[in-house]
Amino acid sequence: MYRNIINELVRWKESPHRKPLVLLGARQVGKTYILQHFGNTHYKHVAYINCDNNRQVKDLFEEDYQIERILLQISAITGKKIIPGETLIILDEVQELHRGISSLKYFCENAPEQHVCVAGSLLGIAMRQGESFPVGKVDTIRMYPMTFDEFLLAKGKTLLADLLRKNEWETLQGLHSTLVQMLREYYFVGGMPGVVSTYIATNDAKSVRKAQQNILFAYQQDMSKHTSPSETKRIAQVWSSMPSQLSKENKKFVYGVVREGGRAKDFEIAIQWLADAGLVHKVPRVSSLSMPLMTYGDFSAFKLYLLDVGLLGALSNTPGELLLMPNNMEESKGMFTENFVCTQLVAGTEETPFYYNRDNSRLEIDFVIQQGTRIVPIEVKAEENLQSKSLKTVLQNHKEMTAIRFSASGYREQEQLTNVPLYAAGTYFVE
pLDDT value of position 130: 54
User: Is the four-CA dihedral 273, 151, 427, 174 of positive or negative sign?
Assistant: negative
| C-alpha–C-alpha distance, residues 148 and 344, integer Å | 8
| C-alpha–C-alpha distance, residues 166 and 74, integer Å | 43
Structural domain spans, the chain: 6-142, 148-424
Multiple choice CATH, 6-142, 3.50.50.60, 3.40.50.300, 3.40.1110.10, 3.40.1180.10: 3.40.50.300
How many other C-beta atoms can be found within 10 angstroms of the C-beta atom of residue 390?
A: 18
* 344 to 305, 341, 351, 362: CA distances (angstroms): 12, 5, 11, 26
Interacting residues of 373 by C-beta distance below 8 A, sequence separation 6+? 291
User: Phi and psi of 49, rounded to 5°?
Assistant: -135, 130
How many other C-beta atoms can be found within 10 angstroms of the C-beta atom of residue 383?
A: 12
How many other C-beta atoms can be found within 10 angstroms of the C-beta atom of residue 205?
A: 16
User: Is the four-CA dihedral 113, 37, 339, 183 of positive or negative sign?
Assistant: positive
Alpha-helical (H) ranges within 56-204 are 67-78, 103-110, 123-129, 148-154, 158-165, 169-174, 176-189, 193-202
Separation of first and last alpha carbons in the chain: 22
pLDDT value of position 351: 74
Tell me whether strands 280-286 and 297-306 are parallel, antiparallel or unpaired: antiparallel
Q: In which residue ranges of the chain is pLDDT below 50?
A: 329
How many other C-beta atoms can be found within 10 angstroms of the C-beta atom of residue 419?
A: 20
Please tell me the number of Cα atoms within 13 Å of 255 on its side-chain side.
14
